[in-house]
């Protein structure tokens, strides 16, 4: 089936650093969403993107919908310890979301 590949798989960064991660697909999506999962919890929606080329921000988070509609990017600026977790991209497919493999982020003080 469809799969979204995220990279990197994991990141270990120092507090205050900026973070970049991306998500690629073999299929075109008309909607891209980014979720964050805290340890022991379900994923929570961070940002939704609806148009190719769109750039959307939510506080220190900025996400972009790739021009080809086959990729998306998430940036986190000035990371803080509570940014720790797993970040998932998701592409909209008719009546369901297809999730990526996840990027695990660790932030050290």
Nearest to 30 by CA among 48, 4, 52: 52
**Member of 16, 28, 44, 106 binding another protein (CB under 8 A):** 44
99 is an interface residue for another protein by CB under 8 A: yes
- Compute how many residues bind another protein; rule: CB under 8 A: 28
97 is an interface residue for another protein by CB under 8 A: yes
Nearest approach in angstroms of CB 30 to another protein is 8
Q: Is cis: bond before 6, omega within 30 of 0?
A: no
CA separation for the pair 53, 42 (Å, rounded): 29
19 is an interface residue for another protein by CB under 8 A: no
Torsion of CA 87, 91, 97, 101, to 10 degrees: -40
Nearest approach in angstroms of CB 58 to another protein is 13
């Amino acid at each position: 089936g469809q799969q979204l590949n995220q990279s990197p798989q994991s990141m270990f960064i120092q507090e205050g650093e900026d973070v970049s991660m991306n998500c690629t697909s073999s299929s075109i999506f008309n909607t891209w969403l980014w979720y964050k999962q805290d340890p022991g919890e379900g994923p929570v929606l961070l940002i939704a993107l609806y148009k190719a080329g769109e750039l959307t921000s939510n506080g220190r988070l900025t996400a972009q919908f790739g021009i080809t509609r086959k990729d998306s990017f998430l940036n986190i600026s000035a990371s803080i310890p509570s940014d720790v977790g797993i970040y998932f991209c998701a592409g909209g497919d008719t009546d369901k979301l297809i999730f990526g493999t996840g990027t695990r982020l660790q932030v050290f003080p």
